[in-house]
Homo-oligomer: A and B are copies of this chain.
Amino acid sequence: MTSFTEENYLKIIYMLTEQNGGSEVSTNELAEHTQTKAASVSDMLRKLAEKNLINYRKYQGVTLTKEGQHIALSVIRKHRLWEVFLVEKLGFGWDEIHDIAEQLEHIDSKELTEKLDKFLGNPQFDPHGDPIPDAKGKMPSMSSHKLSEIAVDQTVVMVGVTVHSPAFLQHLDKNNITLGCSIRIQEVSEFDKSFTIILNNTQSVFVSNEVAKNLLVK
């Protein structure tokens, strides 16, 4: 059996490994993301290694084993499916759902997950544009770019965000930037790399470079 806490570690290791481009995750990195101390992380890593859920060489950081990856993907699948439910069915905003999904992701019932998936119409992406792994752990793929890397006059579609903080998401709401909206780049400032964009062919909106770096488009 895998406890609530163990599942959280595996999920975080998975996500940080992705962010690191596949290389080992360090103890300190994990301590930050689990809101605990490095000593506690060391304890847990020893335990997860004993259960063969992670590859652990002391002082060298960790990666997930096949089995650890499988559990992590199942937790991520549940998290993202519940986020779709919260937004599509219950009417939550995309800035309100993270903490609730953090709880729901640990509900243990394969039948529930699969019925929920079907009820939601087998969505491929969650309300932030993150891919939802299927029951076998396969991620739908989608090539995307940061808005900050797109050239003037191009027209693209908003497909995701790389930051999920309520403050960032609310900022996008305030500027009518939503998943699926069309974006034409009207102007990029030489000075601060900020963007002036045309939203849905109608509205002109100002986007700082800080924001543009965290918007994924296609």
Contact B107 A90, beta carbon cutoff 8 Å: no
Residues of chain A touching chain B, judged by Cβ–Cβ distance below 8 Å, are 86, 89-92, 96, 99-100, 103-104, 107-109, 111-112, 115-116, 119
* Copies held by the complex: 2
Selected from B100, B109, B115, B116, the residue in CB contact (under 8 A) with A112 is B100
**CB atoms of B115 and A92 under 8 A apart:** yes
Residues of B within 8 A of A111 (CB): 92, 96, 100
A91 contacts B103, CB within 8 Å? no
| Bound Cα distance from A106 to B93, whole angstroms | 22
Extra A-B contacts (8), CB below 8 Å, given A90-B115, A91-B115, A100-B111: A90-B116, A92-B115, A100-B107, A100-B112, A103-B108, A103-B109, A104-B104, A104-B107
A108 CA to B119 CA, complexed, in Å = 23
A103, B92: Cβ atoms closer than 8 Å: no
The interface residues of chain B lying within 8 Å CB-to-CB of A112 are 86, 90, 100
- Nearest CB of B to A61, in Å: 32
Contacts of A86 in B (CB 8 A): 112
Report the minimum CB–CB distance from A6 to chain B (whole Å). 16
- By beta carbon, the residue of chain B nearest A114 is B90
Select from chain B the residue with minimum beta-carbon distance to A108. B103
The answer to whether residues A100 and B109 also contact, given A115-B90, A116-B90 and a CB cut-off of 8 A, is yes
Name the distance in Å between A96's Cβ and chain B's nearest Cβ: 7
